[in-house]
Structure 1
């Protein structure tokens, strides 16, 4: 029975989905001290975490059977994705469940920055002072909002701000300009231009080496005097020391902030400033958001434990949900081609796995190579190889992974997997007809056509009379029923037979076929 551990608190509506699963053992450890948690991970298959649990080397080394981690939320700052990949652990997050909550909190800070709402509220409610003259604000109408990062959240903030009559400038070098221009907003190629022209600036990027501290002293110096800054994304995107200087000098008129580099931030120097609205990392804290996060995280954990799917995986070679429909069958096909190839080319050390792609599918060739490599190495390494660690394992074993796009040879789409060893090599090609009619169409240069499924014998033989009769006689004597018989010829005196059979065959039967004078080799292989 697979085991799922809940490391941090999430709403019970999600946990209940796992409790009800008859095939899953649930470990509820959200209230367990973190040092004690490490002792509970040894035989866990999937872990569900939030920001309170560091998925670091200690965690991953302790979880010796771990297959996947679901980060119940967007940010993965507390997850060592590179080390997880080396360990073969799939990391997933829940990127859209709290989108609207984060968008609306950003808008709350944006409005507060324009009207000093928290200060005027405090003066009246706590100090009981009625002072209208002190709290002159500014209107959003006609002002320019600079949006850094135009993903799920940044784009929605921009749309809402535009409805207030704001002019929108967008800086995001990783999206096409048309995504912005189609919304009647301005796409800015240079961050400096956005900094210089914006009255308000909000940031919505992930936290990476590139974005950590991306707005610091130099960037703030380029901004308008009296600029208003918002950060409801990730702590540290704005340099916090530089923010303090900007607030102190008056360069920054207001800061709206929900996230800090180190949390909890109860003694942070930014809290000493009056012209700041601050919340305690509440971006996802709505009933709707937490409900969505809990349900989606637990559904993902169940799917991962059952090895059904890995939605929102951050370290898989490709998200299959992002592939066009025509490409989906090729993911399965290329895995079958490579696994089949490895069963035939099974006597020598693999030195290279090569994928050749033709047609529209070649756009996804590099990602398909990862699936091919897993299929090729699975016979040798079993469950220890997967789509996450295949690159690392291949390098460790000095196996080259190669990919090439070729001109069409007559098929709309075609994939060829080649396994090269120290002394030889073998290749198998396949395509997909109609919507999901997978076919193997070439084996080591011999044309053929059969479905990649079932039990089969591959026989290369001299192209002489009597071969089929000899093989059929041997199979009949061992009560092996032939389901299909495909024969390809190469025009140089050899033929390749693919015999689909109903039962497995043993080495003794293969030895008899291999001893035929006409036989070059006979191999048994199987595809589910």
Structure 2
């Protein structure tokens, strides 16, 4: 019997036809997603569900979806899908992460022009019959400096368009290498320099703990008086109250936002501000972009339902059924090694080296490398997955090197991951024990054995008497319980590393106290 797919949101006729042409029994009900009770009553009849943003795939829907194998989201955002519940039920969740890039980049450029020439306000005035020609003095784009915060897929397109407009482009992006910056024709700078130099600043970064409110009152204070701010990326990257105050004071000459902290934005502190231009999250709203993601999700779902091929899955690695039993624990190891290195990397990555030794060298190292790249890139990009990670790395000019070798050293098989940045080179190695659990076996050339838990502390220190006691006392006095404690050192009294698993999140004030403990060089909290 042919697989059956429900399309519960609006997809193009061409996308529907792809399912039909490939032998899928497709049920196109574009308004069904808005009726959650009706969706709940019929979802158990389908093997696949194709959606946009209107359909909410909740825990209740997933629990009722007894046949469902795959959910395909035409677009990048999957906030409307309960991915953990889908994963627990064995349902693959796919998206189309690269279909909207040009459209979103063009929207940012359109916002820039709208602000520079005050087009929305001038239009409203003119249509009201006022003819206030002297009231809408604009600025030229040519020769101005555009600052990109984030220079990935979308940011690089904005850079290309801005250079075509004869603008000077500077970019802040921890993952942007000098080589990639040179290819794009942009100047890589630190954030403070970008804020100081840019006439226009546009945001193109995911929303993470590190990027939340990256434009706050302190950042705005460093910007040029009379500069412009554009956000077509994610609500929350800019402090909306601080932006409003800067618009009212004249520190900012204008701001254009397509995204807001709370959406739909029926009310917002920015509304009504002078030279504030807003749109209702239209970054991906062009007929071309909507068509691209619709066709892409249809092809991906057909490939999976008919052949088992997985593309752009957010909750499943690209691994065949035959190799899964052997490969899966090493995929987890590779991702953990990447997460370990990625959370400790704070400057632009030039190269990622992966060394596979022993039995693991004979496995599907392409999947393992994708898992490792996912781990390295996740701390800053979050939505990256095993399919998109190699593409993202390539777009950012990160060189990826693989080496396979026979067994070398005490362990039968291991993976070593090395991250090369502009400032340093850091390596971490691990293996899988007989219990199937990944273990760290070496960090920066220092041998140690550690299983990674959800909450970890990474501490570099001098190997001096009393260090462990002071560290334990500080954690104990802060009410933080130690689960495991692992040590390694280069030589007695020399450089040492301590990996501590704790039972919960360590507050920032505790980290600061730990950093002041005698003989401690660095303290970082890690999540796995």
Question: TM-score, normalised to structure 1's length?
Answer: 0.60
Residues 1:53 and 2:55 aligned together = yes
- The residue that corresponds to 1:515 in the other structure is none
Report 1:457-468 matches (<5 A): none
Q: What displacement does 1:273 show?
A: 1.9
Alpha-carbon distance in structure 2 between the residues aligned to 1:43 and 1:419: 41
SS in structure 2 of the partner of residue 123 of structure 1: helix
- The residue that corresponds to 1:148 in the other structure is 149
CA contact (8 A) 2:5 2:25 kept: yes
Q: What displacement does 1:183 show?
A: 2.4
- The residue that corresponds to 2:123 in the other structure is 121
- The residue that corresponds to 2:380 in the other structure is none
Residues 1:260 and 2:263 aligned together = no
Of the three residues 68, 75, 87, the one matched with 1:73 is 75
Deviations 1:448-476 (A, max 9, x none): xxxxxxxxxxxxxxxxxxxxxxxxxxxxx
- The residue that corresponds to 1:196 in the other structure is 196
Report 1:281-430 matches (<5 A): 281-317=281-317, 334-335=323-324, 356-358=359-361, 365=368, 407-408=405-406
Kindly tell me: are residues 159 and 38 of structure 1, through their superposed partners in 2, closer, same or farther at Cα, counting changes over 3 Å? same
Alpha-carbon distance in structure 1 between the residues aligned to 2:228 and 2:358: 52
- The residue that corresponds to 2:443 in the other structure is none
SS in structure 1 of the partner of residue 4 of structure 2: strand
CA contact (8 A) 1:203 1:233 kept: yes
Report 1:262-281 matches (<5 A): 262-281=262-281
Q: What displacement does 1:419 show?
A: 10
Alpha-carbon distance in structure 1 between the residues aligned to 2:208 and 2:80: 12
- The residue that corresponds to 1:434 in the other structure is none
Q: What displacement does 1:338 show?
A: 6.9
Kindly tell me: are residues 59 and 242 of structure 1, through their superposed partners in 2, closer, same or farther at Cα, counting changes over 3 Å? farther
Alpha-carbon distance in structure 1 between the residues aligned to 2:309 and 2:169: 38
Alpha-carbon distance in structure 1 between the residues aligned to 2:286 and 2:371: 39
CA contact (8 A) 2:327 2:364 kept: no
Q: What displacement does 1:167 show?
A: 1.4
Count of residue correspondences: 362
Q: What displacement does 1:201 show?
A: 0.8
Q: What displacement does 1:336 show?
A: 8.5
Alpha-carbon distance in structure 2 between the residues aligned to 1:143 and 1:357: 52
Q: Which runs of 5+ in 2 are unaligned?
A: 329-356, 373-384, 387-402, 416-430, 436-528
Kindly tell me: are residues 101 and 50 of structure 1, through their superposed partners in 2, closer, same or farther at Cα, counting changes over 3 Å? same
Kindly tell me: are residues 196 and 316 of structure 1, through their superposed partners in 2, closer, same or farther at Cα, counting changes over 3 Å? farther
Alpha-carbon distance in structure 1 between the residues aligned to 2:209 and 2:261: 14
- The residue that corresponds to 2:103 in the other structure is 101
Residues 1:90 and 2:92 aligned together = yes
Kindly tell me: are residues 362 and 415 of structure 1, through their superposed partners in 2, closer, same or farther at Cα, counting changes over 3 Å? farther
Q: What displacement does 1:52 show?
A: 2.0
Kindly tell me: are residues 363 and 13 of structure 1, through their superposed partners in 2, closer, same or farther at Cα, counting changes over 3 Å? closer
Q: What displacement does 1:334 show?
A: 4.2
Larger Rg: 1
Q: What displacement does 1:233 show?
A: 1.9
Alpha-carbon distance in structure 2 between the residues aligned to 1:279 and 1:93: 24
Q: What displacement does 1:175 show?
A: 3.5
SS in structure 2 of the partner of residue 295 of structure 1: helix
Deviations 1:147-169 (A, max 9, x none): 11212211010111112221111
- The residue that corresponds to 1:461 in the other structure is none
Quote the RMSD (CA, aligned, Å).
3.7
Report 1:18-33 matches (<5 A): 18-26=19-27, 28=29, 30-31=31-32, 32-33=34-35
Q: What displacement does 1:60 show?
A: 2.9
Q: Which runs of 5+ in 1 are unaligned?
A: 321-330, 340-353, 370-386, 389-404, 423-528
CA contact (8 A) 2:16 2:28 kept: no
Alpha-carbon distance in structure 2 between the residues aligned to 1:64 and 1:175: 44
CA contact (8 A) 2:11 2:30 kept: no
SS in structure 2 of the partner of residue 100 of structure 1: helix
Alpha-carbon distance in structure 2 between the residues aligned to 1:336 and 1:285: 42
Kindly tell me: are residues 201 and 62 of structure 1, through their superposed partners in 2, closer, same or farther at Cα, counting changes over 3 Å? farther
- The residue that corresponds to 1:3 in the other structure is 4
Report 1:226-265 matches (<5 A): 226-265=226-265
Q: What displacement does 1:25 show?
A: 4.2
Q: What displacement does 1:72 show?
A: 0.8
Alpha-carbon distance in structure 1 between the residues aligned to 2:53 and 2:70: 16
Q: What displacement does 1:231 show?
A: 1.3
SS in structure 1 of the partner of residue 360 of structure 2: strand
Kindly tell me: are residues 307 and 268 of structure 1, through their superposed partners in 2, closer, same or farther at Cα, counting changes over 3 Å? farther
Alpha-carbon distance in structure 2 between the residues aligned to 1:204 and 1:293: 20
Alpha-carbon distance in structure 1 between the residues aligned to 2:66 and 2:297: 22
Deviations 1:256-292 (A, max 9, x none): 1222233322333322223112222222222222222
Deviations 1:91-136 (A, max 9, x none): 2222222222222111111111111111112111x22122221111
Alpha-carbon distance in structure 1 between the residues aligned to 2:232 and 2:165: 19
Alpha-carbon distance in structure 2 between the residues aligned to 1:367 and 1:271: 43
Alpha-carbon distance in structure 2 between the residues aligned to 1:338 and 1:142: 53
Deviations 1:356-389 (A, max 9, x none): 33389757646689xxxxxxxxxxxxxxxxx99x
Q: What displacement does 1:409 show?
A: 6.4
Alpha-carbon distance in structure 2 between the residues aligned to 1:194 and 1:263: 29
CA contact (8 A) 2:216 2:242 kept: yes
SS in structure 2 of the partner of residue 358 of structure 1: helix
Alpha-carbon distance in structure 2 between the residues aligned to 1:136 and 1:335: 64
Question: TM-score, normalised to structure 2's length?
Answer: 0.60
